[in-house]
Amino acid sequence: MKKKETDLLCAGVTRRDFIKTCVTATAMMGLPFAMHTRIAEAVETNRNPAVIWLHFQECTGCTESLLRSSHPTVASLILDMISLDYHETLMVGSGHQAEKSLHDSMQANRGKYLLVVEGAIPTKENGIYCKVAGKTAIESLRHAAEGAAAIITVGTCAGYGGIQSVAPNPTGAVGVRDIIKDKPIINIPGCPPNPYNFLSTVMYYLTFNRIPDLDSLGRPKFAYGRKIHEHCERRPHFDAGRFAKAYGDATHAEGYCLYKLGCKGPETFANCSVQRFNDVGAWPVSVGHPCIGCTEPHILFKMPIAEKVQIHEPTPPDTYAPVNLRDKGKGADPLTTGILGLAAGAALGAGAMMAKKLPKDGPAEEEKHEKSE
Ligand code: FSX
Ligand code: SF4
Ligand code: F3S
């Protein structure tokens, strides 16, 4: 048995759970099913990258949901895939001992470690509103970013400022990308984000040794490339004009669309309606709460929950056959794509269906190569 596999089993992750998680992550990344073996291999023989995890202005919900959730496999895998050298919430050491771990890891792994950041960074009054070990958040971030290979922000606070940055933004809170300009930054927004999005991003990095394709807000396209409105189970009600009118009334109990209660799904890019949370298939809309746009910096806490969002670019539900309007006349006709869509739907499982949700620009070179094999 390979050493890494032993480690995983010791960490309470069965071989079956491990492969299942790799399959889920493979589907989430929009990669062909067969790639899950390469991902499993990369994790098992991984470089065990050193990770430094900093916390600034936040509620710590991101770490809580990542590591103390009902996802024992996800939590164990995250902790086992990486060498977590510094994490203020989890580490046993404190004071000078903790600072020494941070310093030693940055020295030993210079240029190679991953820096994970949770929480916004206050910039007003020279950053005095958030200090750890006598250093402001800006100082700690700049110092840790210097030797990092890449930075992953976890949560909308670290990505874009989050709740702290809501007007009048008394502390001048901003996201990492407003301060660090010379390092690759991957944003995994959400308040909190789905643990699988973080897990899949790390797995992608370990497998391909590069960061995934990102959208204009620095989010991996495989997880944030589609609006949740496209896969929402209440979408047929939206299309039929059936809307919940009040919490707890008959229309709400019937499961009607939550748009008129303020659902931001039509303008929110995320995979919640597909990936869901807590291994029980739940997500905000499924339990009757409108999406509050927690992955969108211009929506989360910037728009009242009950306010209806303007729909700028209506997108069809995912169940319709794809029709490429821009290339009208060049591709297959809608009837053909409809029949192909039905055949594909019958042939593929839910995981494989995710594989067609590739970024608009198509797969990266390695992925194309994998597909042609
Ligand atoms: Fe923010 Fe995360 Fe929301 Fe809380 O670390 S994204 S307030 S869930 O904790 O940063
Ligand atoms: Fe679902 Fe919200 Fe879209 Fe309605 S508006 S279909 S509840 S995502
Ligand atoms: Fe956030 Fe909306 Fe998903 S509130 S968790 S993006 S459903």
Going from the Cα of 286 to the center of ligand 1, the distance in angstroms, rounded, reads: 22
Ligand 3 pocket, mutate which of 156, 194, 197, 228 (most atoms under 8 A from CB): 228
Are 147 and 260 found together in one domain? Answer: no
Same-domain pairing of 177 and 208: yes
357 lines ligand 2 (CB under 6 A): no
Give 262 Cα–ligand 1 centroid separation in angstroms. 22
Q: What is the structure's pLDDT at 7?
A: 54
- Over its length of 373 residues, how does the chain's per-residue pLDDT go in tens digits? 444 444 554 556 788 888 888 888 888 787 888 888 888 888 877 657 899 999 999 999 999 888 765 666 777 778 778 888 888 888 777 888 888 889 999 999 999 999 999 999 999 999 999 998 899 999 999 999 999 999 999 999 999 999 999 999 999 999 999 999 999 999 999 999 998 899 899 889 988 889 999 999 999 999 999 999 999 999 999 999 999 999 999 999 999 999 999 999 999 999 999 988 877 789 999 999 999 999 999 999 999 999 999 998 788 887 765 555 454 444 333 333 333 333 333 333 333 333 333 333 333 434 443 333 3
Place of tokens 């370990």: 206
In a shared domain, residues 29 and 131: yes
Residue 253: exposed, middle, or buried by beta-carbon count in 10 A (0-12, 13-18, 19+)?
Answer: exposed
> How many other β-carbons are positioned within 10 Å of the β-carbon of residue 7?
15
pLDDT of 45: 76
Ligand 2 centre distance from Cα of residue 97 (Å): 49
Pocket of ligand 3 contains residue 301 by CB under 6 Å: no
Match 């949370």 to its residue by tokens.
277
Question: What is the tally of structural domains in the chain?
Answer: 3
**205 with 247, same domain?**
no
Instruction: Establish whether residue 244 lines the binding site of ligand 3, counting it when its CB lies within 6 angstroms of any ligand atom.
Output: no
Separation between Cα atoms, residue 145 and residue 27, nearest integer Å: 31
C-beta of 232 in contact with ligand 2 (< 6 A): yes
Nearest ligand (C-alpha, residue 292): 3
**Cα 150 versus chain centre, distance:** 16
Q: Final residue of a domain: which of 316, 331, 346?
A: 331
Are 184 and 285 part of one and the same domain? no
Give the alpha-carbon dihedral of 121, 221, 291, 122, to 10 degrees.
0
Whole domain around residue 304: which residue ranges? 226-331
- Are residues 156 and 41 part of one domain? yes
Supply the pLDDT for residue 174.
98
- Give me the pLDDT at residue 20, please: 84
Q: Are residues 144 and 34 in the same domain?
A: yes
Q: To test ligand 3's pocket by mutation, which of 294, 296, 299, 309 has the most ligand atoms within 8 angstroms of CB? A: 294
Ligand 1 centroid, distance to 64 Cα (angstroms) = 9
Torsion of CA 161, 164, 170, 176, to 10 degrees: -20
Residues 142 and 242 both lie in one domain: no
Q: How many Å apart are CA 73 and CA 355, to the nearest integer?
A: 22
Are both 339 and 316 inside the same structural domain?
A: no
Q: Is the CB of 198 within 6 Å of ligand 3?
A: no
Question: Is the shortest distance between the CB of 193 and ligand 3 below 6 Å?
Answer: no
Full-model pTM: 0.82
Per-residue CA distances from 190 to 195, 300, 340 (Å): 10, 9, 35
Shared domain check, 255 and 322:
yes
Query: Which of 195, 223, 251 is the endpoint of a domain?
Result: 223
Residue 295: nearest ligand to its CA? 3
The ligand 1 atom nearest the CA atom of 57: 10
Ligand nearest the Cα atom of residue 274: 3
Q: Which two tokens stand for residue 35?
A: 């790639």
Residue finishing a domain among 223, 251, 283:
223
Ligand 3 centroid vs 331 CA: distance in angstroms?
Answer: 34
Write down the pLDDT at residue 217.
98
Cβ–Cβ < 8 Å for 46, 4: yes
Tokens representing 140? 């700690």
Does 309 lie in the same domain as 207? no
Q: Are residues 216 and 340 in the same domain?
A: no
